[in-house]
Amino acid sequence: MLTIDVKELKPADLQNYLQHSIAPRPICFASTIDKEGQINLSPFSFFNLFSSNPPIVVFSPARRVRDNTTKHTLENVLEVPEVVINMVDYPMLQQTSLASCEYPKGTNEFIKAGFTMQAANIVKPPMVLESKIKLECKVNQVIPLGSEGGAGNLVLAEVLMMHFDEQILDQEGKIDQRKLDLVARLGGHWYTRANASTIFEVEKPNMKLGIGVDALPASIRYSKWLSGNDLGQLANVHELPDLDPAFDDEQYKQIIQYFSINPTELEEELHRYAQKLLNTGKVNQAWQVLLG
């Protein structure tokens, strides 16, 4: 294990370790305007949702590590405390990256990156027409985190109006996560996509407590074959299941038939089969195999 005291690192190396570790990060494509009416569009991956009531998102245009200068986006929100946050999906990614070039003050990155300006309903900065989710926000507060190169500036933005492309909605008007292809940033030049082929669900019953790994029978908890993810699923039931006499499973019966003469092999086969069931979300069946 490499252990590093951050005081020993140069700012650029510290930034490198942090950006690779705290990843993937969603991307806020921020449209802002200065008091002269000049429009700016830049991406920020130091960004997240921090409150839904009130609806507050935060992003951070940092002081440059290189020369400690500030970003136009920061200067703009201090002059005109409004921003449109446009979410970035895969079809927009290369143009979004282009918009991150450090063009001189007054350059409209909508034009440079080839995006279309669309008037917002209640704030002055325009929205990115091509983006499938746009959030019109007022900036409530800007919190500087330091004065050295690399210091972030938290922009606390309250969402006032939201726009969603019908293409990404289901019949009830809710977002279908599978229909979006959001992009997130990792360290260096790495990005990732969240689309139908990469996303998955982990069900978490909110009302009932899982029994916990500490409550699993020792033969399961200290299994040589079950993984942490397997134990996590098994321990998420709200009470230890009972053996179901009606449990009828062909593969389970075959394992019992072929391996009963050797208890170690039998245990391994049962655990491996339970694992297979867990991998397809069949937690109850997995429990029956392990209890049997």
Ligand X SMILES: Cc1cc2nc3c(=O)[nH]c(=O)nc-3n(C[C@H](O)[C@H](O)[C@H](O)COP(=O)(O)O)c2cc1C
Contact residues toward ligand X (CB under 6 A) are 27, 40, 42-46, 60-62, 71-73, 97, 100, 102, 185
**Is the Cβ of residue 72 or residue 271 nearer to ligand X in the bound state?**
72
Task: Encode burial over 118-152: b for 16+ CB neighbours within 10 A, e otherwise.
Answer: bebeebbbbbbebbbbbbbbebeebeeeeeebbbb
Classify residue 81 as exposed, middle or buried by CB count within 10 Å of its CB (0-12, 13-18, 19+).
middle
CB of 120 to ligand X, least distance (A): 18
CB of 66 or CB of 178, closer to ligand X? 66
Question: Helix 250-259 vs helix 263-279: angle between axes, to the nearest 10 degrees?
Answer: 160
Of 59 and 273, the one with the shorter C-beta distance to ligand X is: 59
In whole angstroms, the minimum distance from the beta carbon of 129 to ligand X comes to 20
When the beta carbons of 22 and 209 are compared against ligand X, the nearer one is: 22
Least distance (Å) between residue 10 CB and ligand X: 18
**137 phi and psi angles, rounded to 5 deg:** -130, 150
CB of 50 to ligand X, least distance (A): 15
Nearer to ligand X, 102 or 239 (CB): 102
Nearest distance from C-beta of residue 60 to ligand X, angstroms: 6
User: How far apart are alpha carbons 237 and 13 in whole angstroms?
Assistant: 43
Q: How far is the CB of 164 from ligand X (least distance, A)?
A: 22
Question: Considering beta carbons, is residue 31 or 285 the nearer one to ligand X?
Answer: 31
The angle at the Cα of 164, spanning 162 to 170, to the nearest 5 degrees, equals 130
